[in-house]
Amino acid sequence: MLREGLKEPLEFAYDEYLFGRGFFPQDGEYPYWHHVFPHTIDLSGKTVLELGPFEANNTVMLMAKNPKKVIGIEAKPLNFAKISVMQSFYNWKNFELILGDMHIFPQLLKDKIDIIYCSGVLYHSDKPWWLLKTCMENCNTVILGSIVSSEYPSRHRETVKVDIDEESYHLEVRKEDEKCHSGLKRKSLLFSEEELIRFVKKNGFQYEKYGSTIIAPFGLWVFALLTK
């Protein structure tokens, strides 16, 4: 009833997984998110910050890993409503949802964070270096899933030079739409993986890939564990 009743006012992109059997696979199957989390990380007893939960499609995965608490920060009101529905649907007691801009998350939190889960949001930021540096300044473990600028697939790419901490980086300019999964600004900027690694190491963190690279419509999707 809940699934059918929300299809029109709150259309879920991950409907099949949130309300179907995507999160509860049969024998021999994997949940859709089995590749998006490093197997070396144990969330038991940890407080996790999730940036931009979207529809709580990855929140379900995080909550299933027995964390002490998960805090989600979401800036889009429609997504906030969807996540609230899923919180009620799954009856999460140790989940806190905050409406706000992920770029300023230290100002929005009261809890000490053990792990930051930053998946599907870095490439929607107009200041990805600010967001990533804020993550690394406030937590020693960052789980990153992001599209990075690449020559694959082949297409015209506009780039801009950005000076960060006395070093120059060339980031790709990407136009954003107004859909619920887009960024807050009209344009976002993308690191290439090489420049991303350079930036991460410049800030004293290790960059360790934990999943297979995926060719996305406007770049490459990479999964990396950043640790200090």
CATH of the domain at 139: 3.40.50.150
Considering its fold, how many domains does the chain have in total?
1
Distance, in Å, from the CA atom of 175 to the CA atom of 185, rounded to the nearest integer, reads: 9
In this predicted model, what pLDDT tens digit does every residue of 114-167 receive, in sequence order?
999 999 999 999 999 999 999 999 999 999 999 999 988 777 889 999 999 999
pTM of the predicted model, to two decimals?
0.91
Distance, in Å, from the CA atom of 95 to the CA atom of 200, rounded to the nearest integer, reads: 29
**What pLDDT does 181 receive?**
67
**What pLDDT does 23 receive?**
62
Report residues of the chain scoring pLDDT below 50: none
**What pLDDT does 112 receive?**
96
Q: Which residues pair with 215 in a beta bridge?
A: 220
**What pLDDT does 212 receive?**
84
In this predicted model, what pLDDT tens digit does every residue of 207-218 receive, in sequence order?
999 988 888 888
**What pLDDT does 11 receive?**
84
Measure Cα distances from 10 to 73, 76, 112, 151 in Å.
19, 13, 33, 36
Distance, in Å, from the CA atom of 75 to the CA atom of 120, rounded to the nearest integer, reads: 14
Structural domain boundaries enclosing 206: 2-227
Q: Backbone dihedral region of 63: left (phi > 0), alpha (psi from -120 to 50 degrees) or beta?
A: alpha
Residues 6+ apart with CB under 8 A from 40: 210, 225
**In sequence order, what DSSP letters do the residues of 146-167 get, joined into one string?**
EEEB-S-S-----EEEEEETTE
Cα dihedral 197→210→20→147 (10° resolution) = 20
**What pLDDT does 163 receive?**
96
